[in-house]
């Protein structure tokens, strides 16, 4: 039994597409699936909620036929209500909205479920877990950001680990069937602490693409380290 009760959910490795070669994204998502990833995360950025600008729904729709794993859209955007349906139509089965971008978060999450997708909420580093109190029954996943959103390659923020554990406690005490995801600075030196704190879906971008032994090795190594916290 692990030291952290409730951290027995299946470990999933989710690549961020941000560091991939944008000139050949179809091949890149196929390579990620071949490397053994469990899902693929698209970092959708609007240049307003975060400074960067990334993937429109048409780009994701073009890549959809090249992989069969779940696509999740991490909407780092100011108006998620206006955009969510377009990313569902593009082939994303899970939509992550930021609590900080939603004036009516409960309604936004409800609408995502009405679209037939799985709903999820992300918390920036400054947003406390208590923001989730009245929406845990509406989500399949909570994303605890371990960097400030907008760019890949940033340093992991270890002070987020108590928040990961707090979210896991809230999920367990409420009897919710909810995954906990972390995103930002996840690599061989940080994934163990994040998983031990309670995360079971781990997003990595830079760490996968900078591994000199390639994507398959990187995915397998991260999975092994994360699963070691379950023994
Ligand atoms: C931040 C992005 C990054 C990205 C992963 O907005 O969401 O966290 O997905 O970046 P790495 O793994 O390179 O830190």
Q: What value does the mean pLDDT take over residues 161-171? A: 98
Confidence band for 231, pLDDT divided at 50, 70 and 90: confident
Confidence band for 1, pLDDT divided at 50, 70 and 90: very low
Q: How far apart are CA 26 and CA 17, in angstroms?
A: 11
Cα(61) to centroid(ligand 1), Å: 21
Q: What confidence score (pLDDT) does residue 108 get?
A: 98
Q: Does the predicted model carry a pTM greater than 0.85?
A: yes
Burial of residue 26 (number of CB atoms within 10 Å: 0-12, 13-18, 19+) = middle
Q: What value does the mean pLDDT take over residues 42-53? A: 97
Q: What confidence score (pLDDT) does residue 7 get?
A: 53
Helices of type H across the chain: 25-34, 57-63, 80-89, 105-114, 161-173, 191-197, 206-209, 215-228
Q: What confidence score (pLDDT) does residue 184 get?
A: 98
Q: What confidence score (pLDDT) does residue 8 get?
A: 77
Total number of residues shown for the chain: 231
Q: Can you identify the CATH homologous superfamily of domain 12-228?
A: Aldolase class I (3.20.20.70)
Q: How far apart are CA 18 and CA 97, in angstroms?
A: 18
Question: CA separation (Å) from 77 to 36, 122, 186?
Answer: 29, 12, 22
183 counts as catalytic: yes
Query: Hey, where are the domains in the chain?
Result: 12-228
Q: Which residue of 14, 16, 46, 98 sits with most ligand 1 atoms within 8 Å of its CB, as the best mutation to test the pocket? A: 16
Q: What confidence score (pLDDT) does residue 190 get?
A: 98
Please tell me if the CB atom of residue 152 comes closer than 6 angstroms to any atom of ligand 1.
yes
pLDDT in tens, 87-146: 999 999 999 999 999 999 999 999 999 999 999 999 999 999 999 999 999 999 999 999
Q: Which residue of 13, 17, 152 sits with most ligand 1 atoms within 8 Å of its CB, as the best mutation to test the pocket? A: 152
CA 48 to chain CA mean position, Å: 20
Q: How far apart are CA 208 and CA 187, in angstroms?
A: 8
Q: Residues of the chain with pLDDT > 90: what percent?
A: 96
Q: How far apart are CA 76 and CA 57, in angstroms?
A: 14
Q: What confidence score (pLDDT) does residue 5 get?
A: 47
Tokens describing residue 106: 């409960």
Tokens describing residue 55: 């993937």
SS3 state at 69: coil
Active-site residue (options: 43, 46, 140, 211):
43
């Amino acid at each position: 039994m692990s030291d952290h009760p409730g951290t027995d959910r299946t470990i999933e490795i989710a690549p961020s597409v941000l560091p991939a070669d944008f000139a050949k994204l179809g091949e890149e998502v196929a390579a990620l699936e071949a490397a053994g990833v469990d899902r693929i995360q698209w970092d959708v950025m609007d240049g307003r909620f975060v400074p960067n600008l990334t993937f429109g729904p048409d780009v994701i729709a073009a890549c959809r036929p090249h992989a069969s794993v779940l696509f999740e859209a991490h909407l780092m955007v100011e108006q998620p209500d206006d955009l969510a349906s377009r990313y569902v139509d593009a082939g994303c089965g899970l939509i992550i909205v930021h609590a900080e971008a939603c004036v009516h978060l409960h309604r936004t999450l409800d609408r995502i479920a009405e679209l037939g997708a799985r709903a999820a909420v992300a918390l920036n580093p400054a947003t406390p877990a208590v923001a989730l109190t009245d929406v845990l029954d509406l989500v399949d996943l909570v994303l605890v950001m371990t960097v400030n959103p907008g760019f890949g390659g940033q340093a992991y923020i270890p002070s987020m680990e108590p928040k990961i554990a707090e979210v896991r406690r809230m999920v367990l005490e409420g009897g919710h069937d909810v995954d906990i995801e972390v995103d930002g600075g996840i690599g061989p030196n940080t994934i163990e602490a994040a998983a031990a704190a309670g995360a079971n879906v781990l997003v990595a971008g830079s760490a996968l693409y900078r591994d000199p032994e390639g994507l398959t090795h990187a995915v397998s190594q991260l999975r092994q380290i994360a699963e070691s916290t379950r023994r």
